[in-house]
Amino acid sequence: MARYVVSQLGRFLLLMVAVAVVTFALVSLSPVDPLQANVGQAALMSMSEEKRAALAAYWGADTPMLERFLAWAGDLLHGDLGMSLRYNAPVAEVIASRAANSLALMGVAWVASGVLGFVLGVAAALREGRLLDRFVRGYCFVLAASPTFWVGLLLLIVFSVWLGWFPLGFSVPVGVAAADVTFADALHHMALPAITLSVVGVANVALHTRAKAIDVLNSDYVRFARARGLTRREALIRHGLRNLALPAITLQFSQIAEIFGGSVLVEEVFSYPGLGQAAVTAGLGGDVALLAGIALVSAALVFAGNLAANLIYGLVDPRMRPVRRQKEVADD
Amino acid sequence: MEEKPAVAHEAVDHGAQPVHHHHSHAATSRHGHGHHLLTVEDLSVSFLMYDEEAAAMRAQGDSRADRGRLGRYLHAPQREVEVIRSLSLSVHEGEIVAVVGASGSGKTLLADAVLGLFEPNALVRGRIWFDGRPMDAAALAAERGRGIALVPQSVASLDPLMRVGRQVEGMPRGRGAARRADAGRRRARRRELFARYGLAEEVARLYPHELSGGMARRVLLCCALMDAPKLIIADEPTPGLDLPLAQAALADFRAFADDGGGVMLITHDIELALTVADRVAVFRDGTVVEETSVAAFASPDTLAHPFTRQLWHALPEHGFVVTTEGSPLC
């Protein structure tokens, strides 16, 4: 057990280092001029040569990349993620305030797409080739082929512009003091982006679950269960669901990365102040510290998802547990 | 099927009158209550498949397979492929009938048909009687696991994620108290079977992948025997087992038959079949070409069908002779 913890911890640290190095290198190599990005084009033009040089020296723009990286990484080890240029606040604070919005949004979409996708996939598999299956497949193919942002725009047009059921954007009503924002308000604002993410995520989960459920229905053990008098439905409930749980867990936790990626687009479309939107702002604005911070947080999230999947495997599947019984029961 | 009174028929001496009902009988063959335990007559199983030839013809502009402008887009041409044709077979009480045929020749489809397990695109025709009753699909489904039980080939037929004990016990029926009572009855029956076949009680707590070959074989047999069936269909129960284990498996089937049950032993191994079976049904090209007693295999002269005689010559003790057209089994 101790060995497992240490090895997982080692992997996690390696991943963090790799993500930090790659993000830092990519942003440093990007053609975005840090001076121009920070003070703005007009201000930079009107500045004197000396002032520019002084600013460059102040921000350390000419410091070699390695040195900058080491300085940043050293601070990181002390828990200091640096200052965000764009938001003019410590990166940790920016991430914390936005993560709350994003996690709520992604959590709802994650659970909804997982549950709905699983149910639709199993139902379609049970009725393979029939009307329900065709309908589910049709829905999934159309949505799997639609870009997330486009689905978001469509929903906005229909439900916000035409029907007026949902607000056009943001996470809280415009012109209301933060203290007066109710939970219902927040929920109302989150609904449409969450639905967009779920509706698109369902397609992926349902198609995978359907394929897997058909495999299970054609398996030797379901055939034998049916030969023993169970109906297809009974066999699927008694034996199928356990065996489907494993791929479903893998899928569900790998879906975290998908949902995270989708949330970047959805948050842009709905002007929803979450991590995804901050990442876009940071990337376009040359905000290295914030971008690196968000990259680290999202990598940690995805890593946690995969780790959770691995741990749950052991609970569900006895074949993935350490060998113990074979020795206890003497053979024959 | 029987014109004669049942009692009179039961008294038929199979030694003196070995051939009736279109097949030869063995000394152990009994017409309990005047009928066969299982009778299959004129069974054919075919599948609807997409017809690639017709599709190609159509693509070349041949209008013979055409259904009109709209139909062309909505219907792919299909044809019926017959996998089992006019197959007849009987199993008596107290005997093992070995259905011997090459691997992949469709023997398992015969098992599926008798169990009433059909693929959605299968067309099944023919007549099946079980224990004197004519059966339709619903009646066969009702007998699955109760009157007729399957012994599958390997541990792959067990759910890898469920403990062996629960799987042998099967799904309890009923609701509430009745369900609990049924679960208790099943547990008791499972204990009894485990004790009879020398499986320790701890085996019930194992998962399928933790079973040894010998344990797996007995567990699968216990599954089949849970509801005290009259007929066992054993689908290739011996491959993968070493010789002593295979012999133990066959001995268990023999004991079941000797207690008055019937066994349909589906196998590709004619040598093994001849050691344990009472009668052999030779399966080829989707049908049973000859159904005869094991005793008839003593000499090629007592075998009626040329293919059966080829099989006889191909047996090791007759010198592996492979004659003329058609390949022998395996």
pLDDT class of B265 with cuts at 50, 70, 90: very high
State the greatest distance between any 2 C-alpha atoms of chain B, in Å, as a whole number: 69
Q: Are A228 and A238 in contact (CB under 8 A)?
A: no
Interface contact A62, partner B, CB < 8 A: no
- Asked if residue A332 belongs to a domain, the reply is no
CA atoms within a 13 Å half-sphere pointing along the CA-CB vector of A162? 7
Of the three residues A55, A89, A123, the one that is the final residue of a domain is A89
pLDDT class of A331 with cuts at 50, 70, 90: very low
pLDDT class of A60 with cuts at 50, 70, 90: low
A67 & A119 share domain: no
Measured between alpha carbons, how far is residue B85 from residues B105, B283, B288 in Å?
A: 12, 11, 9
Interface contact A217, partner B, CB < 8 A: no
For the question of an ipTM over 0.90, the answer is: no
Which residue does chain A place closest to B149, by CA atoms?
Answer: A228
A168 is in which domain, residue-wise?
A: 91-327
Q: Cβ A223–B161 below 8 Å, yes or no?
A: no
Helix axes A91-126, A241-269, angle to 10 degrees: 130
Phi, psi of A219 (to 5 degrees): -75, 165
Contacts of A129 in chain B (CB under 8 A): 120
Q: Cβ A228–B145 below 8 Å, yes or no?
A: yes
A231 & A85 share domain: no
Which residue does chain A place closest to B205, by CA atoms?
Answer: A325
A13 & A122 share domain: no
Mean pLDDT, rounded, for A316-326: 62
- Higher-scoring residue by pLDDT: B123, A2: B123
User: Does residue A55 surpass a pLDDT of 70?
Assistant: yes
Kindly give the pairing relationship between strand B148-151 and strand B122-130: unpaired
At A166 the pLDDT is 78
A85 & A96 share domain: no
Of the three residues A66, A89, A112, the one that is the final residue of a domain is A89
- Asked if residue A101 belongs to a domain, the reply is yes
* Number of CB atoms found within 10 A of residue A48's CB: 8
Mean pLDDT, rounded, for A90-112: 85
A248 & A144 share domain: yes
Which residue does chain A place closest to B198, by CA atoms?
Answer: A332
Share of chain B above pLDDT 70, in %: 82
Helix (H, G, I), strand (E, B) or coil at A323: coil
Measured between alpha carbons, how far is residue B304 from residues B99, B291, B298, B329 in Å?
A: 16, 9, 13, 18
Distance of CA A64 to the CA centre of its chain: 33
Interface contact B84, partner A, CB < 8 A: no
Residues found in chain B:
330
Helix (H, G, I), strand (E, B) or coil at B57: helix
Mean pLDDT, rounded, for A301-317: 81
At B190 the pLDDT is 92
Q: Which of A128-132, A231-235, B161-165, B312-316 has the lowest mean pLDDT?
A: B312-316
Mean pLDDT, rounded, for B122-139: 87
User: Does residue B264 surpass a pLDDT of 90?
Assistant: yes
A78 & A153 share domain: no
In angstroms, the separation between the Cα of residue A126 and the nearest Cα of chain B is 12
B134: which strand partners?
B129
**Angstrom distance (rounded) from CA B227 to CA A225:** 14
Q: Which of A233-242, A253-262, B11-20, B199-208 has the lowest mean pLDDT?
A: B11-20
Take residue B206 and report the two structure tokens written for it. 């194992």
- Higher-scoring residue by pLDDT: A210, A71: A210
> Taking all residues of chain A, what is their mean pLDDT, rounded to a whole number?
81
Mean pLDDT, rounded, for A71-82: 79
**Angstrom distance (rounded) from CA B85 to CA B45:** 7
Q: Are B224 and B150 in contact (CB under 8 A)?
A: yes
In angstroms, the separation between the Cα of residue B139 and the nearest Cα of chain A is 12
From the list B117, B202, B214, the residue facing A227 with the nearest CB is B117
Interface contact B175, partner A, CB < 8 A: no
A157 & A243 share domain: yes
A111 & A129 share domain: yes
- Asked if residue A44 belongs to a domain, the reply is yes
Which residue does chain B place closest to A223, by CA atoms?
Answer: B157
A225 & A269 share domain: yes
* Number of CB atoms found within 10 A of residue A38's CB: 17
Residue that is written with structure tokens 């936005």 in the block: A98
Q: Are B229 and B147 in contact (CB under 8 A)?
A: yes
A96 & A82 share domain: no
Interface contact B157, partner A, CB < 8 A: yes
For residue B228, give every residue at least 6 positions away whose Cβ sits within 8 Å of its Cβ, in sequence order, or none: none
Residues within 8 A of B (CB atoms), A 68-127 only: none
The total number of structural domains in chain A stands at 2
In angstroms, the separation between the Cα of residue B276 and the nearest Cα of chain A is 24
Q: Cβ B158–A238 below 8 Å, yes or no?
A: no
Interface contact B170, partner A, CB < 8 A: yes
Domain ranges of chain B: 156-225
Residues within 8 A of A (CB atoms), B 95-124 only: 115, 117, 120
Q: Which CATH number covers residue A192?
A: 1.10.3720.10
**Angstrom distance (rounded) from CA A288 to CA A276:** 15
In angstroms, the separation between the Cα of residue B148 and the nearest Cα of chain A is 9
pTM greater than 0.80 (yes/no): no
A70 & A99 share domain: no
* The Cα angle at residue A31 between residues A28 and A33, in degrees rounded to 5: 80
**Angstrom distance (rounded) from CA B314 to CA A75:** 82
Mean pLDDT, rounded, for B130-143: 86
A152 & A68 share domain: no
- Higher-scoring residue by pLDDT: A48, B178: B178
